[in-house]
Amino acid sequence: MARGSIKKNYILNVSNQLMNILAPLITTPYTSRVLTTEGVGEYSYSESITSYFVLFAILGTATYAQREISYVQDNENERSRVFYNTLALRLLTTALMLAVYLVVLHDKILFVILAINILNVACDVTWFFQGMEEFGKIAGRNVVFKLISIIYTFAVVKTEKDLLLYAIGMVGLNLLGNVSLWRHVGGYVTRPNLSAIRPFENVYAILSLFVPTIAIQIYTIFDKTMLGLFTETSYENGCYEQAMKVVRALQIIVCAIGTVMAPRIGYYFAKDDREKVREYMLKAYRFVWLVGIPMAFGLIGVSDNMVPWFFGNGYDKVKILLKILPVLAVVIGMSNVTGIQYLIPTKRQNILTGTVASGAVVNFCLNLILIPRFFSVGAALASVAAETVITALQLWYVRNEIDLKSIFRSGQKYILAGVMMLGTLRMMSRCLSGSLLHTVCMIVTGTAVYVGGLLLTRDEYFLENCRMVADRLRRIWKR
C-alpha cells in the first residue's frame, strides 16, 4: 500500500489537530466575556471530572490500535482483525463507564450533557485512519465540524446563562464529527465475522499502554480538579483553562509530527530497518527545536499585550501563566518524540510507563504544595516541573541508542535566535499598549528577528526547508 510523504501527512495532521484548538481559540475572546471566568471555570472543572471516565473508556486502545494498524497496513485481513477487536472492546468499556458515570453524577445537568463525551469513545475511529496514514480524511472532517462549532457558539451563546447550550454544542458536534468518519471505514476493512471477534485478545498489551496514557492525562486533569478543590470560586480554573487553550495550540503544532512519524517508525521497526528509525528520530528532534522555540519564546514575549484585548477584563492572571506554561511546547515536544514516536512503536512502553508515572508523582506532590499557596500559578509550575522530569528520564533511557549530544547541539542556533527574539519582544512590550494591532506588529517583528538569526547562523535544516518551500511555490506559479 502506498504511503504519503511525511511532510504531506504532517501538514494534514497539523490541520486536523490545529482545528481542535483554533475553534475554541477563535471563540475564546467571545466566550470569556459572555460566560465570564466563573462560567469558563465551571465548564473546565466539570469537564475534568468527566475526563476520568473517558480515559477508562478508551483504556490504551487508541495508541495500541494505531501502532498495530501501522504494522499491518498492507494486509487487509489483519488490519480488519485489529479494527473489529478494538471496536468491540471500546463498545464494552464505553457502556460500562457510561453506566457508572450516570449513576454517580446524574444529579447535575451539566454532567449529564458531558456524558456524551464518554459515548464519543465508541464512535471515534480516528485511531484507525492514523494507523493507515490517511490523515486527509480526518482533517477534512475536522475542518467542517469545527467551523460549524464556531458558527454555533456565536449564534446560540448570548449570555452567561447559556453555559448548558454551549456544552451541548461542543460535545454534540464532536459526536457528529466522529460518526461522519464511518462512511470511509468500509473501503479499508472486510465484513465483520462476529464469531471471530476477540475483544480481549490483546488486553494485556492494551493495558500496558493504558498506564502511561492515564498517567499523562490524569495529572493534566488533576491540575483543574485540584484547583477546583482548593479554591472557593471558579476564577482560578477559568484563568488556567484560558491560558492552557493558547498553550495547547502550540503543543499541537509541535507534537503533530509525532502522530505522523509514529506509524512510519513502527513500519520500519517491523521491517528491522533501525537506521531509518534513527534517521526519522533525529529529524523529529530538530523539528521540535525549529518550531517549538519561537512559539514558546514568542508567546512569552507578547503575553502582556495579547491578554487584555484577547480575553477581556478579569483575566490579568493569564499574563503570569503565559510566562510559565509556553515552555511546555518544547519540553512536551521532546518527550513526544522520545515516547510516542520511539518507545511505543519499538514496543518499549514499559520505559514510557515508568517515566510518565514518575512525572505524575512529581506533579501531584507539587500540586499539593503549590496550589494552596499560589493557586493557578502553582499548578503551572508543577506542570512544567513534571514534564521536564519525564523528558529528562526518557532521554536518559535512550542515551545509548540516540546521540544526546547531537540532539542538544542541533538546538543551539534555535535557542540563540529565540533569545534574540524574546529580548526584542520584551523591549517592544514596554512601549506598546495591549491592542490587536500592536500584538500583530510584535509577532511580525519577532518572526523577522528569529528568521534573521537562523539566516545569519546559516542553519542548514532551516535553509533546506526554505528551499523546499521555494521550489514548491515556483512549481505552483508555473502551472
Domain assignment present for 463: no
Contact 237, 245 (CB under 8 A): no
pLDDT at 280: 79
In SS3 terms, the chain reads as CCCCCHHHHHHHHHHHHHHHHHHHHHHHHHHHHHCHHHHHHHHHHHHHHHHHHHHHHHCCHHHHHHHHHHHCCCCHHHHHHHHHHHHHHHHHHHHHHHHHHHHHCCCCHHHHHHCHHHHHHHHCCHHHHHHCCCHHHHHHHHHHHHHHHHHHHHHHCCCHHHHHHHHHHHHHHHHHHHHHHHHHHHHCCCCCCHHHCCCCCCHHHHHHHHHHHHHHHHHHHHHHHHHHHHCCCCHHHHHHHHHHHHHHHHHHHHHHHHHHHHHHHHHHHHCCCHHHHHHHHHHHHHHHHHHHHHHHHHHHHHHHHHHHHHHCCCCCHHHHHCCCHHHHHHHHHHHHHHHHHHHCCCCCHHHHHHHHHHHHHHHHHHHHHHHHHHCHHHHHHHHHHHHHHHHHHHHHHCCCCCCHHHHHHCCHHHHHHHHHHHHHHHHHHHHCCCCHHHHHHHHHHHHHHHHHHHHHCCCHHHHHHHHHHHHHHHHHHHC
pLDDT at 2: 47
> And the C-alpha cell for 272?
528491522
Segment 317-341, tens digit of pLDDT: 999 999 999 999 999 999 988 887 7
Domain assignment present for 145: yes
pLDDT at 278: 79
Domain assignment present for 446: no
Computed over every residue of the chain, the mean pLDDT equals 86
Ramachandran sector of residue 282 (left: φ over 0; alpha: ψ -120 to 50; beta: rest): alpha
pTM greater than 0.85 (yes/no): no
**pLDDT by 10s per residue, the chain, length 479:** 545 556 666 566 666 666 776 777 788 889 988 998 889 888 988 998 999 899 999 988 888 888 888 888 888 888 999 899 999 999 999 999 999 999 988 778 999 999 999 999 999 998 898 888 787 788 888 888 989 999 999 999 999 999 999 999 999 999 999 999 999 888 888 888 888 889 998 888 888 778 766 766 766 677 888 888 888 777 888 899 889 989 988 887 787 665 566 666 767 777 777 777 777 788 888 889 999 999 999 999 999 999 999 998 888 999 999 999 999 999 999 998 888 778 877 778 788 888 888 998 899 899 999 999 999 999 999 999 999 999 999 999 888 888 888 889 989 999 999 999 999 999 999 988 889 999 999 999 999 999 999 999 988 888 887 887 777 777 767 66
| Domain tally, the chain | 1
Domain assignment present for 45: yes
* Domain around 128: 1-201
In whole angstroms, give the CA distance from residue 167 to residue 46: 10
Domain assignment present for 231: no
Domain assignment present for 399: no
Domain assignment present for 139: yes
Segment 364-409, tens digit of pLDDT: 899 999 999 999 999 999 999 999 999 999 999 888 888 888 889 9
Domain assignment present for 48: yes
